[in-house]
Amino acid sequence: MVIESCASQLAPVITHLFNLSLSQSSVPSTWKHSTVVPVPKISHPKKESDFRPISVTPLLSRVFEKLFVRDYFFPSLPNEILANQFAFRPTGSTTVALISFTHNVAELLEESPYVRCVLVDFSRDFDIVRHLVLFQKLQRPIIHRELVGQLSY
């Protein structure tokens, strides 16, 4: 890979790009483009719903996003918000979520003879989202008043 073999020469340039993006609150337009690739959900797909769209984004865009989330986004969120979040965290996984769930149920069973659980699977719902409508909603400015006072910049 070119970036890996030229890392020492490219590091100052990439660092400058990242710092420039942070100082201007903007990223290069080429980082905003992706290629959507259909990936089969099942062995022998026969219809569109048997595929999951995967966005292939530029490498520098992914690296920048990962660094931004780690260094700026997560530290600005109160810990209570992330307490029960397992996805998109370095220590989060389905296994950790299941262990936490099992532990909570076991604790509740110590106090009560039964535990009621409601489990909802949204995995198929994301396959039927009307992407144009979602995109239009995401373009609208949204202000969460309860979070504005809690975020530090």
How much is the average pLDDT of 89-111? 85
Residue 126 has pLDDT above 70, yes or no: no
More confident residue, 4 or 83: 4
Q: How confident is the model at residue 125 (pLDDT cuts 50, 70, 90)?
A: low
| Interval 87-106 mean pLDDT | 81
pLDDT at 149 over 90: no
Angle at 38 between CA 32 and CA 41, to 5 degrees: 130
**Confidence (pLDDT) at 111:** 93
b/e for 2-39, b at 16 or more Cβ within 10 A? Answer: eeeeeeeeeeeeeeebbeebeeeeebeeebeeeeeeee
With 50 as the cut, is the pLDDT of residue 77 above it?
A: yes
What is the residue whose two structure tokens read 């809690």?
150
**Both structure tokens of 147:** 């979070």
- DSSP structural state of residue 53: E
Average pLDDT (91-112) is: 87
Helix (H, G, I), strand (E, B) or coil at 145: helix
Residue 142 has pLDDT above 70, yes or no: no
Mean predicted lDDT score pLDDT of the chain: 80
